[in-house]
Amino acid sequence: MKNEVGRRHKFVRENILYISVAEYAERLTTTAAAVYAWESGRRSVPHSIIEYLATTYGISATWMLTGQGEAMSERTQPIIKNKLDTIGEIRYHIDAMQTLLTRLEAENTRRTDVYQYENVFTLPKLSARVSAGTPIGVDDDFEQINLMETLVNHREHMCIMNVVGDSMTEAGINDGDMLLVDTAAEPKNGQIVIAKVFGELTVKRLIREGNKTILKAENPIFSDIEINPHMEIEFIAVVKHCIKKF
């Protein structure tokens, strides 16, 4: 079995690809000794090589393994005589590239469809408002809301961070909450931001008053952080939403 597959492998290299053992080994980033071992039957031709020949050059994996059918499909089969002539070789490589591109485009489309499907999540939004004072009436009308479009402005720059500590409780941010943050947004006065101060991450409200810049805690038992030129500080992100568990 190994001898038969090895012979077919040698036929492909010599009569279809028309390249030497050394050139073939270099193309596959292997050694000439390994190629000789495959073609002599001392070692089995790896399935990865058979897959490579099928994907890159249109060589039939079934023919390679069993000898059944044609070595190549009619669409990609070049003109083969004793040697592969120049026009046939060019036509073969063009067809092989077109086949590979078609497969890659199909795979990319499939992955994009899956990505879009997995990242779109909708829930019904009821038209009734919730009153925090006097109770109001309820109706059953609703519309579907895409949570990704509602919560995420810049998908490629947004991520979720966990909150540890109670310095922002009066801003509605508690220990254990999750923050949806935008790493590309420019921090503005009054916004809640994620900053790295001396290598440690903290969430605070950014306050700019004249020449002063302060990272303000929203809990009176915690001290504010006044930024000075000697401090090692970096603004990481702007907080967009707080996700809470009840």
Could you list the active site residues?
167, 204
Size (the chain), residues = 246
52 and 38 in contact (C-beta within 8 Å)? no
The whole-angstrom separation of Cα 210 and Cα 154 is 31
The whole-angstrom separation of Cα 238 and Cα 205 is 10
The whole-angstrom separation of Cα 216 and Cα 205 is 5
DSSP E strands, the chain: 122-126, 142-146, 158-162, 178-182, 192-197, 200-209, 212-216, 225-227, 233-243
At residue 53, the 3 state secondary structure works out as: helix
Q: Which of 196, 203, 206 lies closest to 231, judged by CA?
A: 196
Rounded to the nearest 10 degrees, how much is the dihedral formed by the CA atoms of 172, 175, 177, 180?
A: 80
CA of 238: how far to CAs of 162, 202, 215, 225, in Å? Answer: 14, 12, 13, 17
